[in-house]
Amino acid sequence: MSRLGDLGARLYRGEIGVDFVGRRKIWYGVSVLITVLAFAGVLIRGLHMGVEFEGGAVFTTSATEVSVEEAREVAEEASGSQALVQTLGDDGSMRIQVSGLDTDQSNATREALAEELGIPTDSLNAEVIGPSWGDQIANKAWQGLGIFLVLVVIYLAIAFEWRMALAALIALIHDLTITVGVYALVGFEVTPGTVIGLLTILGYSLYDTVVVFDGLKEQTRHFTRQTRYTYAELANRSLNGTLVRSINTSVVALLPVGALLFIGGGLLGGGMLNDIALSLFVGLTAGAYSSIVIATPLVSDLKSREPEVRAQDKRVLAKRAKRADGAEGEEHPEDEAVASGAEADDEPVEPADDESAAPAGVGAPRGPRRQPAARSRGRGRPSGKRR
């Protein structure tokens, strides 16, 4: 078995573990700090919305020897607005995007670009996008996001419980906030590709959270029938049991996304690949983080407020104090079975008789041992009657 596999097995058995739930206040503080920075980035720098949302013109040139800087200067001087210029290949073709242009401004900018590039005006493709179309795209994106979140909450409330649904919703909002904040800080343009990436990371983040919640549900199924672990401790054991699985899933998903971002978008100039890959990369990382250190600790906090769970935790702590004082020295294998997720019988465990429960050599009755009569004794033997 590999070292990673051995580590995962030891985490699953509870031999080692990281106290995520016990240190939840630290993780909450880190998450709040990251969220504040994300909001600050959005408020201070703002989001650079693409022409699909604000309206404007997009010009596509053929092969040319004009540099990107020269094309940007000409476009900004002719339009009076900030221009975004991207290369489309090694032949020198470019995509010039200028926001907030109407049809007349677009025609003037097109003629100035054609003259600077030394190509006929008809050879310079121009596409004008009105702001109303961008508003429709934005509204549909918000509607899709709202419907998705409502369906997620309903499903999790039915499959698990409302506390897990609430924790998953908070984790999803946390992931979206971080991703939007990174977009604002980096200065990437928000395009329909960005919206596609944001909706995609919600599925990945939810997948990690459901995996962790499924383990938590299995671990705490017979919580009130054991006196060894509190709910928070069982939640932490469950989280450690799925820790390696969650990390492996996130790393495998991040590898191709990282290739899209750093190779496809950075080195090859992929254009829209940057928009999709950046949102996926940031969202997957935030989703793996939130499913481990936010979702499960939140469920533990919410469950610990229930009277039944609170009373059971008090019984566990009282029992533990008695064991520490030496009042009870026996182990309880049924507690360990419940804590490890094993199925327990529906009937309560009955205590054994005093004689059978007494260990050998301590209080055992003396005298000859009485062998139980065998049920098969006398079968197949002659009765001894003479005929």
CB atoms under 10 Å from CB of 347, counted, come to 6
pLDDT, tens only, 105-126: 778 888 887 777 777 777 777 7
pLDDT of the residue at 361: 34
* Share above pLDDT 90 across residues of the chain, in percent, rounded to a whole number: 6
Q: Please determine, for residue 318, whether its predicted confidence score (pLDDT) is greater than 80.
A: yes
pLDDT, tens only, 344-372: 444 333 333 333 333 333 333 344 444 54
CB atoms under 10 Å from CB of 367, counted, come to 5
* Share above pLDDT 70 across residues of the chain, in percent, rounded to a whole number: 75
More confident call, 169 vs 249: 169
pLDDT of the residue at 193: 77
- Give me Rg for the CA atoms of the chain: 33
CA atoms of 93 and 88, how far apart (whole Å): 6
For residue 92, what pLDDT band results from cuts at 50, 70 and 90? low
The single-letter code of the amino acid at 221 is: R
* Residue 276 CB partners (closer than 8 Å, separation 6+): 193, 194, 196, 197, 200, 260
pLDDT, tens only, 44-62: 888 877 777 777 788 787 7
Out of 15-19, 197-201, 382-386, least confident range:
382-386
Going along the chain from its start, the domains and CATH numbers come out as 3-49+133-307 (1.20.1640.10), 56-129 (3.30.70.3400)
